[in-house]
Amino acid sequence: MKGTSQGNIVPPMRDDGTVMAAWESFLTNGGVPINAISRMIEDSWRRCLTQGVNPTRRYAPIVVDDNGLYGLRKRHAELLEAAMPVMEEAREFLSETGTFMALTDPKGVVLCLEGDAAAKDRGHDIKLIPGAQWIETASGTNGIGTALAAGRPVQISAAEHFCEGNKHWSCSATVIRDPLDGHIMGVLDLSGLSGYHNQHCMALVVAGAGRIEAKLGKIEMEKRSRLLDKTYHQNRQASDTGIIIFDRRGRLVRANEHAAEALRERGVSFEECEKIKWKDVDLGEGNDIGTLHQWLEQDWVEPVLDADERLGTLISIPLSSRRILHRVEGFNIAAVKDAEACGDIFSRIIGVSPIMTKVKNRARQLSRINVPVLLQGPTGAGKEVFSKALHEGGPMAKGPFIPFNCGGITRDLLASELFGYIDGAFTGAKRGGMIGKFEAANGGTLFLDEIGEMPLDLQPHFLRVLEEGEVYRLGENKPRKVNVRLVAATNRDLRTEVAEGRFRMDLFYRLSVTVLGIPGLCERSEDIPLLVDYFIDRAAKAYNIERKQPDTEVLDALVSYDWPGNVRELKNVVEGMVLLSEGTRLTVDDLPPELQNFRPVSSAGSVPSGGEAKKFFAPVTLDESEKITIASAIANENGNLTRVANRLGIAKSTLYQKMKRYGLDRSSAARE
C-alpha cells in the first residue's frame, strides 16, 4: 500500500451531511453546491438521472440464476483463474474486518465474493451477491458501476451513492484490463458498511487488480506458446505457403515471410485479413467460409486444438510463385527488405541462425502482450534493437519510445530523470520543474537499460510506479497517472543480485514476468555474413562511397573471431574497414590489428579455404603447449567436458572458447 508520505491515491472523504444535502438538491433542481461533491460523483449522478435510474432503489437486480451463473463463470474462466490467488488471500486477510471483495464480469455482474462472513451476509440486503448486476444503469453510482463507466479506480463513500439503499455502504473498485489489448475484462471491488471501509482499501484493490492482470498475461503467454508449438511444423515446412496464425480471440499472432505475398496475389491486405472475426468462424463440416470471403477457400483454414480447447486458427495460403533467396559467396543473405512488406517488425532484425530465429519468434509473441519484458544478454548484443521492435510491434506502437540508461549516474540524478520534479524541489532545480521519463513515455514504451545498476533504496519507488500506474514528481504529493509499457535490460544475473541483497526480490519478479535472452554474437556466428553485408551497405550509403565486397578470407576471419563486443564491435570494425580500405574489395590487409593477429590454420598445418577456416581458427602466437594440454585432458576424460574443466581448473565456458579457438572437439581432440 502507498505510504502516507506520498499522499492519498483517492480524494479526501467529504462529510456525509454535506453530500446528502447535495444529493437532495440535485434530485430537486438538478444542481449541487460548489465543492460539495467531486466532479466524478457529479458526472455519475448525471448519468444516472439521464438513464432513468430510480434514486429510491433499495437493491441491485439479480440478472442470472444459479444455472446462468455457472455458465457465466465458465465464460470467464480465465479471469476467475487469474483472480483466484487474490480472492483466496482476501478470504483470510479480510476476515473480521467488516469488508469483503467482489469480482465481476465486464457487465458488472458479480461472479464471486470473498472476505468477512458477517459483511457478506449484510450484503444480501442490497443484493451485493453473485448473479446481481451493479452497472450504473441498474444500480446507480457505486464502486463497480462507476469504475466501469470511468475506466479507472474509484472510491464511493456512503452518501455519494445515487441509490438510497446503498448509502450505508462504502466501496473501492478498479477495472481489470486485458494485458494484451487493454479491453476491460471485469472489476475488483472492496465493499463494507461505513465505518469499516477506509482509504487504504483503494490501494489494496489496485494492487490486487495489478496482480490479476499480471496473471492474465502469464495465462495468455502459456496459451500462445501452446498455439505456436501446435503450429510449429506447419510453419517450418511452409516453403511455398503463406502462413498466418490467429489466437483464440482472432488476434494476429504470427505471419511467415510468405504471408504478405500470398495475400497480395489475392488482392487482400493484412488489415482486411485481421478484420475477419476468426474466433466466431464456424469451421464445421458443411460451412463454406468462401461464401463470406470470396478470396478464401475452406481447406486453407484450420482450427488449432489442444485437448478439445481451441487455441486459435491457422491460415495456409499457397503461393503461385516462390520468393528466391540470394546466396553471396556461400552464405545466405536474408531478404530483409521484404520484412516491411509482410508487416513483421522482427524480420528486420538480422539473423537466421536457429538461436536467433527462436529469440525473434519469442519476441514477436511478447510484443503483442502488454506486460513488462526483461532483456538479458551481453553488452553490444542488440538489446535496444529488440526493445524498439517490442514497442513497434505492440499495442503501444503509436506512443513514444523513450530509452534511458540507468548506469553510471548518481542516485539523485536517476530519481529526477525517472520521476521528474516540481519547481523548487531542490537547489538547482530547473524553473518550472521537469517531466520525468515515466511521464514522457506515457502511452508508449519506456526502455531502461542497465536496470541492475539502479540503487537499492530507489527500487521501492520504482516498483510503486509499476504496480499502481502513478508517478510522483520529486517535491510533490499529487499522483500523476501514467500508462507505460516497460522494457528493461541488463547484462547482470539479477537472480544473483537478489540473492546477494543488491536487488529487490519483488521488483525482480515484477520485471521478469517475461524474460527474453539476447544471444552474444559468438553464439550465432552463422549470422555474421548477414550482418557484415548489412553494415557494409549502410556505411557505403552513410558516407556516400562505393560499396566494397569482402574477400572470402575476410569473412572467414570475421566469422571465427570471438567478438567480445558483440554486434556493436562488429559494426565498428566493418565501418572502419569500409572507410580505410584503398582497394575495390575488402581484403585481409584491411582487417584491424586485433584480427590480423589471427589466421586460419588446419590441424595438419595447411591453410584451408572457404568455410573450413572457421572450424580451425587459431592465433599466430598460439602456445602449442596449451593446445596439447587441453587435447590430452579431453582424451583422458573420454570427452567429458565438465571433468576436463575441473581437471584444468578453468570455467566450462572458458574451455568451450579455447576448444573453438584451437579447433578441438570431443572426438578430434584425442587425435591431436
pLDDT digits (tens, 9 = 90+) for 305-331: 887 788 888 888 887 643 333 333 333
Strand partners, 309: 306
Sheet holding 373-376, edge to edge: 401-405, 445-449, 485-490, 373-376, 514-517
Q: Averaging pLDDT over each range in 232-246, 339-353, 359-373, 586-600, which range is the top one?
A: 359-373
pLDDT on residue 236 = 54
Highest mean pLDDT among 115-129, 366-380, 553-567: 115-129
Which domains does the chain carry? 4-210 (3.30.450.40), 231-324 (3.30.450), 370-519 (3.40.50.300)
Higher pLDDT pick, 105 / 582: 105
H/E run at residue 387: helix 383-392
d(CA 541, CA 556): 25
Question: Which among 452, 447, 486 is positioned nearest to 179, based on CA atoms?
Answer: 486
- Say if CB 114 and CB 101 are below 8 A apart: yes
Beta-bridged to residue 187, according to DSSP, are: 104, 175
- Please give the average per-residue pLDDT across 381-392, as a whole number: 91
Burial of 154 (0-12, 13-18, 19+ CB in 10 A): buried
* Inter-residue contact 588 to 560 (CB < 8 Å): no
**Choice between 114 and 221, residue whose per-residue pLDDT is larger:** 114
What is d(CA 325, CA 533) in angstroms, rounded to the nearest whole number?
Answer: 14
Residue 57's pLDDT is 94
Cβ atoms of 585 and 550 within 8 Å: the answer is yes
Rounded to 5 degrees, φ, ψ at 195 are 105, -30
Give yes or no for residue 33 having a pLDDT over 90: no
Which pLDDT score, from 0 to 100, does residue 545 have? 86
DSSP 474: B
Return the pLDDT at 495.
Answer: 84
Residue 343 binned pLDDT confidence (cut-offs 50, 70, 90): low
Of residues 161 and 421, more confidently modeled: 161
Task: Decide if pLDDT at 669 tops 50.
Answer: no
Q: What is the mean pLDDT of residues 657-663?
A: 77
Instruction: Determine the pLDDT at residue 319.
Output: 77
Alpha-carbon torsion (286, 292, 294, 299), positive or negative: negative
Average pLDDT score over residue span 398-413: 87
Phi, psi of 420 (to 5 degrees): 80, 180
Kind and range of the H or E element at 90?
helix 77-93
pLDDT band at 628 (very low <50, low <70, confident <90, very high): low
What radius of gyration, in Å, describes the C-alpha atoms of the chain?
31
The yes-or-no verdict on residue 80 having pLDDT over 90 is yes
Q: Is pLDDT of 658 > 60?
A: yes
**Residue linked to cell 536496470:** 451
The reported pLDDT for the residue numbered 237 is: 54
Higher per-residue confidence, 295 vs 100:
100
Tell me the C-alpha distance between 631 and 613, whole Å: 20
Q: Determine the 3-state secondary structure of 449 from DSSP.
A: strand
Locate 347 and state its grid cell: 524480420
Pairing outcome for strands 110-115 and 99-104: antiparallel
Is this prediction's pTM over 0.85? Answer: no
pLDDT at 270: 66
Closest to 560 in 3D by CA, of 512, 598, 593 = 598
Name which of 79-88, 124-133, 640-649 the model is least confident about. 640-649
What's the CA gap between 302 and 311, in Å, rounded? 11
CA nearest to 600, candidates 588, 585, 590, 592? 588
274 vs 253: CA distance, rounded Å = 10
Q: Which three cell numbers stand for residue 167?
A: 448509502
| Mean pLDDT to the nearest integer, 518-539 | 89
Query: Which pLDDT band, with edges at 50, 70 and 90, does 98 fall under?
Result: very high
157, 14 contact by CB (below 8 A): yes
Q: List pLDDT tens digits, range 490-512.
A: 988 888 888 888 888 888 888 87
Of 153, 156, 192, nearest in space to 174 by CA: 153
The string of pLDDT tens digits covering residues 414-452 is 888 898 888 877 766 677 778 889 999 999 999 999 999
Q: Which residues contact 594 (CB under 8 A, 6 or more apart)?
A: none
pLDDT of residue 235: 58
What whole-number distance in Å separates Cα of residue 169 and Cα of residue 209? Answer: 21
pLDDT for the residue 329: 34
Per-residue pLDDT, 304: 86
Render pLDDT for 580-600 as a digit per residue (tens, 0 to 9).
Answer: 888 889 998 888 887 876 544
**Which pLDDT belongs to residue 233?**
63
The confidence score (pLDDT) of residue 6 equals 32
Task: Tell me the average pLDDT of the chain.
Answer: 80
Query: Is pLDDT above 70 for 455?
Result: yes
pLDDT at site 354: 87
Position 624 confidence tier, pLDDT thresholds 50, 70, 90? low
- Over residues 217-243, the mean pLDDT reads 75
Q: State the pLDDT at residue 234.
A: 60
Position 222 confidence tier, pLDDT thresholds 50, 70, 90: confident
> Does pLDDT of 387 surpass 60?
yes
Cα–Cα distance for residue pair 367/374, rounded to 1 Å:
12
Is residue 124 very low, low, confident or very high in pLDDT (cuts 50, 70, 90)? very high
* DSSP H or E segment with residue 357: helix 354-367
The C-alpha atoms of residue 635 and residue 637 are separated, in whole angstroms, by 5
Helix and strand numbers (H, E) in the chain are 25, 24
> Is 285's pLDDT higher than 80?
no
% of the chain surpassing 90 pLDDT: 30
Q: Which range scores top for mean pLDDT: 163-167, 178-182, 590-594?
A: 163-167
115 pLDDT band, cuts 50/70/90, is: very high
pLDDT for res 136: 95
How many CB atoms are closer than 10 A to CB 410? 9
pLDDT at 239 over 80: no
* Banded pLDDT at 667 (limits 50, 70, 90): low
What average pLDDT does the segment 539-567 reach? 87
Question: What pLDDT, on the 0 to 100 scale, is given for residue 662?
Answer: 77
564 pLDDT exceeds 90? no
Total residue length of the chain: 672
- Of 9, 39, 60, 50, the closest CA to residue 160 belongs to 39
Q: What is the DSSP-derived secondary structure letter of residue 140?
A: -
For residue 281, pLDDT beyond 90? no
Retrieve residue 617's grid coordinates.
581458427
